[in-house]
Chains A and B, each alone.
Chain A
Amino acid sequence: MKVMKIFMALAISAAIGFTGCKPKDADIKTAIETKMKADPDMAKTTVDVKDGVATISGECKDEACKAKCEKEVASVKGVKSVVNNCTVAAAPVVFTPPVITADDPLTQAVTDATKDFAGVVASVKDGVITLTGEIKKDLLPKLMMSLNSLKPKKIENQLTIK
């Protein structure tokens, strides 16, 4: 009996000792989350830990950020491996403001473009092309294509279409 008790006590203390030096999943998770909060690159990521395997998800701004995120998590004590489910945010589309041709070069360009359209009268003011006169319907798209490529602010089409 005595031997048995000693043996059991040893077993219990061993078990306690063993789990004691192996961080629990919840503690690992807390440690990782602390790191994530401190780093703006990882602000949009979350983590789950199960049996020492850390699974990260959320959004990173680019591939380098995603790789860094994984490295940071892997370096936390107790993490056996990392499953990186982070997505990379699509590059934002940057639109530049439209280019508007100044009146002098635009007037010249409009004169060139309308020269072969008999009956069409064009004027330019503040980047706006105003069309008056008349045109055959089948020629209208051709004229509009030409004028649109001259980078005006606007085209006021007051043509009589025949």
Chain B
Amino acid sequence: MALAEKYKELTDAAAAGGITDLQSREQDGVLYINGTAPSGAVKDQLWDIYGKIDPDFRAGDLILDVNVAVDANVTKVKVITESSNLNIRKGPGTDQPIVGKAAHHEIITLVNRSNEQWWLVRTADGEEGYSYARYLEPVAE
């Protein structure tokens, strides 16, 4: 279990940071760490540690799959693109037609998160569809 040793700082921080359903195991030369982080800050902290151990993410021996827990009551999300508008698509995938756009930093309605990567959203104008979750940040009510 050399990998467990290599990434020990990471798994220790995950346990200390309150990651729920934390799983860490090695298979075919890759260490898989899964869990749910209580906040985005805890996830960022883990990625900082990963970046410290393997600065360019070149080793190919770790899959760090930690999601941030989203309160089920959250109904508003903020568009956190770099600067551009966010596409709203008919279905969950970039191959799907664009049915609307949300502006950078606009706050829109979150309809559901049944797909991890693609969240169903609705704009104030009533445009409804799927947007990429990486560009959406839950807003506290």
Residues of A within 8 A of B (CB): 95-98, 108-109, 111-113, 115, 140-142, 144-146, 148-157, 161
Contact = CB atoms under 8 A, between A and B. Distances in A.
Chain B contact-residue range equals 20 to 34
B27 interface: yes
Contacts of A144: 47, 57
Contact of A112 (B28, B60, B66, B94): B94
Interface string B62-91: 011111000000000000000000000000
B30 A153 contact: yes
Nearest to A143: B57
Contact of B64 (A113, A148, A153, A161): A148
A95 B23 contact: yes
B57 A140 contact: yes
Contacts of B117: 109, 112-113, 149-150
A154 B93 contact: no
Q: Which 5 A-B pairs have the closest CB atoms?
A: A98-B32, A95-B25, A112-B94, A144-B57, A148-B64
| Most A Cβ at <10 Å: residue of B23, B27, B57, B134 | B57
Q: Is the interface of A mostly helix, strand, loop or mixed?
A: mixed
A144 to B, nearest CB: 5
Contact of B25 (A97, A109, A112, A142): A97
A145 B50 CA distance: 11
Contact of A154 (B63, B64, B66, B116): B63
B51 interface: yes
A108 B47 contact: no
